[in-house]
Amino acid sequence: MPSGTSQLPGPISKAVATIIFDSIASHGGLSQAAVARDAGMSTSQLSRVLNGHKVFTLEELDRVCAALGLELSEVVDHADQASRMRRRLAPVTPIGGNVGSTNEAGIPDLARAAFEDDGDDGADLD
């Protein structure tokens, strides 16, 4: 990657950021500024990661985990599991979005064809 450019967070990085954000939020009275200070990074650096604008380096993540009393390996493992779950549950394109032309009543030809008497089997609704 060229110097001066930053890598956009992928699914695992986003999941890591969510875990860290939730951990900070669950520690009553703990601020992002305090975690950043304890991890040896600026508040804006931590904020950029937690808001999806930057990716943690391993060293940063290790220090943030230490500041929160978390195990680095557990955070990464949970993030990996969460990102895999999201991929399995990824949204799909609804099939109703492209069903061909419609008649004057707005019923798609594909759906209308299922209810029209075509004379082939005598089992139609008419």
pTM (two decimals): 0.64
**Class of the domain covering 11-88:** mainly alpha
pLDDT in tens, 43-95: 999 999 999 999 999 999 999 999 999 999 999 999 999 988 866 665 655 55
Task: With a cut of 70, say whether residue 1 has pLDDT above it.
Answer: no
The end-to-end CA distance of the chain, in Å, is 66
The per-residue DSSP string of 57-108 comes to -HHHHHHHHHHHT--HHHHHHHHHHHHHHHHHT-----GGG----B-TTS-B
Confidence of residue 21 (pLDDT cuts 50, 70, 90): very high
pLDDT (0 to 100) of residue 84: 87
Cβ neighbours, 10 Å, residue 59: 11
Range with lowest mean pLDDT among 20-24, 49-53, 87-91, 119-123 = 119-123
Class of residue 25 by CB neighbours under 10 A (exposed 0-12, middle 13-18, buried 19+): exposed
Task: With a cut of 80, say whether residue 118 has pLDDT above it.
Answer: no
Across 6-15, 65-74, 103-112, the highest mean pLDDT is recorded for: 65-74
